[in-house]
Amino acid sequence: MSDPGVLAPQPPGEPGWLRRELSNPLFRNAYALVANGGLTGLLGLAYWALGAKFYAPDDVGRNWAVIQAIMFVGSVTMLNFLLIRFIPQTARNTRSLVLVCYGTGAAAASLLALGFIATLDLWGPSFRHLTDWKAAAWFLAMAVAWNLWNQQEGVFTGLRHAGWVPVVNAAFGAVKLVMLVALAAAFPDDGITLSWFVPVMIALIPVSFLIFGRMIPVHSRENFGRGPRPTHREIGRYLGGAYVGGAFQYASISLIPVVVAAQISQTTNAYFQMAWALGMMLDLLALTLSMSLTVEGSFELEKLAESTKAALRRTLMLMTPVVVVVIVAAPFALEFFGHQYSEKGAPLLQILALAVLPKALIELYIGVLRVENRTRLIALLQAIRFAGTLALIMVLFDAEHLATIGLIVVGVNVVVAAAILPGLLKAAKAKPSHAHEGRDISEGGGGHSHGG
């Protein structure tokens, strides 16, 4: 009789843990996106450390305020949620779906950028230089480029090629670092913004060739005739609630720091934005399994509950040690930035790290809701998170205590996470047949497909 404390030898030919993990598309996509989040975080830390060394705090604060405005305009108008949800269920129409999303997003980003430029008086001194028409034209072009750049990530993920996301973003991050230093002497006022978005504009060309020239044709061939295809009506019904939810999500990330920037000095904004940017990089990790869950749930609806349970386990396993490391290391890491980045920014970053855990639970539940086409609930949850955070910041924010913003973010997300937790646990325990209900309702035009 064998000792139960000793693991039995693995049978010959039995794949190892890593191979089993990567053979599951849910985890393969998720780990690729986690790797992207890790690389983005490390490169971002190096980027802002060099920025703090080569640029004065007021220049850092002004440039980062503009970057956040561009990111808001470009992100709130993209249609990633549509690409991630419906690329898995399209074949010969994938190219058309991607082009429509690109064109719609770029046009919306242009209009919103023009609206922002027309209302510069509302946004404080950090944006005053955009009154010059050349600077305004650059702002518009960079907003459109950022919109397309982020939609490309949705295409990679929807095509089950999320492994390309860290590759592309690592190259982008490396070039960005080089340009940040190279532009410091010639463009001390705008070098940070230019180093961020000029590489994006250049990289759009080869990445587009890869997507449209190779990946989409392969996807079309391999998935032609596979499973039911979404109708225009189904996509249209999904679009409304999903877009509103996505808009509130990106507003929470990029509009809130623009609002804060309008209320504080450019130097104080540098300390705030540094902590906020690093905190939002942690949020990328919280989003990864949610996006992968949406893709795999769309490919295989009958495995949604199983995938949800696995994603929940992996989220807690991956995120908890990351949060602990950031809380412990933040004060020491930000000392390297010089000035008062550690004193002013570290407490805020530590609190924002705590917010990642409830955010991860919320994002997983939203991933389930996307598969089930319950977009109105997505919109409601994202609206509550954004409106609650913004309202409390407007009432409680004190420029002398930046950490207050972190406490507000944690509080709002803990309340929302507590509200959705029963639904998330139910989705993880649901029987396989339940995974079909969301699609049956959509395809039946509001009633069950059996006609009852």
Tokens of 292: 């992968």
Is residue 78 left, alpha or beta, with left meaning phi > 0 and alpha meaning psi from -120 to 50? beta
Measure the CA dihedral 254/260/266/267, to 10°.
Answer: -100
Angstrom CA distances, 242 to 128, 200, 340, stand at 34, 26, 40
Residues in a beta bridge with 401: 398
Predicted pLDDT of residue 261: 84
Distance CA 418, CA 14 (A): 40
pLDDT of residue 222 exceeding 80, the answer is no
- Structural domain harbouring 213: 24-443
Residue 54 domain-assigned?
A: yes
> Does 449 fall in a domain?
no
Query: Helix (H, G, I), strand (E, B), or coil: what is residue 196?
Result: helix
Q: Tokens representing 434?
A: 């339940």
Report pLDDT digits (tens) over 242-287: 778 878 888 888 888 888 888 888 888 888 888 888 888 777 776 7
Whether residue 450 lies inside any domain: the answer is no
Q: Can you give the pLDDT at residue 335?
A: 78
Measured distance CA(203)–CA(199) in Å, rounded: 6
Predicted local distance difference test score (pLDDT) of residue 41: 64
Does the model's pTM come out above 0.85? no
Distance CA 281, CA 44 (A): 8
Asked whether residue 3 is assigned to any structural domain, the reply reads no
∠275-278-175 over CA atoms, to 5°? 125
Distance in angstroms (rounded) separating the CA atoms of residues 179 and 113: 25
Is 448 a member of any domain?
no
User: CA angle at residue 365 from 361 to 366, to 5 degrees?
Assistant: 115
Query: Can you read off the two tokens belonging to residue 126?
Result: 């950090």
Token output for 398: 């004190």
> pLDDT category, 51, cuts 50, 70, 90?
confident
In a domain, 244, yes or no: yes
pLDDT in tens, 325-368: 989 988 887 777 766 778 888 899 999 999 989 998 998 898 88
Which among 265, 278, 254 has a CA at the least distance from the CA of 400?
265
- The most confident of 85-89, 167-171, 389-393, by mean pLDDT: 389-393
**Per the domain annotation, does 18 fall within a domain?**
no
Give the pLDDT of residue 197.
92
Can you give the pLDDT at residue 3? 44
Amino acid 448: pLDDT: 33
| CB-CB contact of 393 with 256 (8 Å) | yes
Position 37 scores a pLDDT of 61
Percent of the chain with pLDDT over 70: 79
pLDDT over 90 (residue 44): no
pLDDT, averaged across the chain: 80
Our count of domains for the chain comes to 1
- Answer yes or no: is 1 within a domain: no
